[in-house]
Structures are given as C-alpha cells and as structure tokens.
Amino acid sequence: MALYALGDLHLSFQADKPMDVMGKVWKRHERKIEKYVNRIVKPEDTLVLTGDHSWGRKLPECEQDLAFIENLPGRKILLRGNHDMFWDAKKTKQLNEIFKDRLFFLQNNFYAYKDYALVGAKGYTFEGPFYLDRRGRIVGWDEEREARAKKLVDREMGRLRESFCQAKTAGYKKFIMFLHYPPTNIMEQTSPFTEIAEENHVTAVVYSHCHGETRFGDSIRGSFHGVQYMLVSGDYLNFHPALVLE
Ligand SMILES: [Fe+2]
Ligand SMILES: [Fe+2]
C-alpha cells in the first residue's frame, strides 16, 4: 500500500483545448498518464490528484475526463484547482454523493491514509505582475492585485483549517497537506500555508499548478523547517505519479 500524488492532468476529452501547444511534454499527455499511472499505482494504493483536472466548464462537459480518472487504478482523491470550473466550492458534498465510492473530493473534509490524515485546500498565491529591473530583480508589484490575493489566501486558509480541525477531532496527529497553488510566491520565504504546515508538524506539503521550466522553481522544493515540500505538476514529473508515503 502506498500514497502517490500527481497534479494538473488538464484533460480535455470534451473540450477543444489541445495541450501540446504548451510544449513537447504535453504531446498526447493523456496516454502518458494512463501508461505511467497504471504502471506505478496498484489497486490498493491511494492517488491524490492536486487539481486542474479538466478543461470542461460544467460537470456534463467533464464526464469523459472524470471517467478517465475513475478508470485509473487505486483510490483517487481530488483537490480543487483554479481551472476546475465544474467544482462549485460550496457543492463538494454533492460531488462526493454523485461519485460515491468512485472519486473522493477533498475540501472542508479529510481522508485517512494509514495513521495519517490527508488534509488540503486549493490554496492561493499572489502571482504578480512583478516589476523587474534589467537584472531581473523584483523592484515592485501590483499592489491592488496583492490586496485581492490576501483575501483569497484568507478564504483558502479557512478551508484548510477546517480540514485540519476535522482530522484532529477524529484523533489524527500525523498529516500530509495538499495544495493546488504553491505554498509561497516567488518573493516569499514563508506564508500562512507554510506556517500552518509547521504548526501542525506536517510530514509533507504536496502542491502543483507550476508549469514549465521557468516556473518549477517558483516555490519551495525539498526540506524546509522540518517539512518536506513536493512539486507534483504533471509536466514537471513527465506524468509519473510521485511517491509520497509507503
Ligand atoms: Fe495547471
Ligand atoms: Fe492551476
């Protein structure tokens, strides 16, 4: 039994959204997902998909994408990404009822893996625009957008706290924390997300959303203040699910 994670499948079986314009790694990426997930993940394993599942805007436009995910091996737990328009934040319970025992939607709740609680939320990071000097150093940023981002961070932190709270009420003391957005933006060393991870002594923070060579280093990777940070964007991993826990 093992715990794996992979993010940003960006499926589009019913939407006209060719992903290969994003680079070679995206060429027939759904075939790679099918091949590598089937090779690595066993039926008794858990696979957390960290958001941006489908380009469909409404649930009927995602049917084939979600069916594709359902057909992958293991227990599939889905986190909400910024492109998951089909997933109304207030209707997670309904999604869990519709897909009962087939797909598991993580928001304002938690799932157990051995003696760990899998907690999470979409998260949010301020992504600029940043203003750079000739040497590429940050000399300023859009303050209006930053103020808006702070509100979104607060909302996501509320959802994340709820997830932790439910897990603790159920008696869990060990946590793996999932985010869609990176835990920090390019100018931050720490954020409310790294702080809550440290406060709760989480074993790992797993996130995605960052696409392309130039963005993979946007946030923390590896060990920081005793927490392991893992980037699991599909294109970063060439669509191989990453092992989080054995
Ligand atoms: Fe994405
Ligand atoms: Fe995203």
Cis peptide before 129 (omega within 30 of 0): yes
- In Å, how far are 28, 84, 130 from 122, measured between CA atoms? 26, 10, 22
What are 112-140's pLDDT values in tens digits?
999 999 999 999 999 999 999 999 898 99
Distance of CA 165 from the midpoint of ligand 2 (Å) = 26
Tell me, in angstroms, the distance from the centre of ligand 1 to residue 18's CA: 14
Is residue 15's pLDDT more than 90?
Answer: no
Q: Which ligand is nearest to the CA of 22?
A: 1
Over residues 166-183, the mean pLDDT reads: 98
> Residue 146 above 90 pLDDT?
yes
Cα 80 to Cα 68: distance, rounded to the nearest angstrom: 17
Q: How far is the CA of 246 from the centre of ligand 2 (A)?
A: 27
Q: pTM for the complete prediction?
A: 0.96
**Residue 18 has what pLDDT?**
83
Distance between Cα 83 and ligand 2 center (Å): 6
User: Cα of 146 to ligand 2 centre, how many Å?
Assistant: 18
Of the candidates 167, 166, 185, the residue with the CA atom closest to the CA atom of residue 175: 167
Pairwise CA distance, residues 178 & 6, whole Å: 11
Nearest ligand for residue 85 CA: 2
- Look at the block and give the residue holding tokens 């092992």: 243
- What is the CB-side half-sphere exposure of residue 102 using CA atoms within 13 A? 11
Q: 209 CA to middle of ligand 1, Å?
A: 4
Contact 51, 81 (CB under 8 A): yes
Nearest 5 degrees, angle CA 229-CA 81-CA 199? 40
- CA-wise closest residue to 37 among 79, 84, 70: 70
Quote the ligand 1 centre to 171 CA distance (angstroms): 33
Q: Give 186 or 166, the one with higher predicted confidence.
A: 166
Across the chain, mean pLDDT equals 96
CA 84 to centroid of ligand 1, rounded, Å: 10
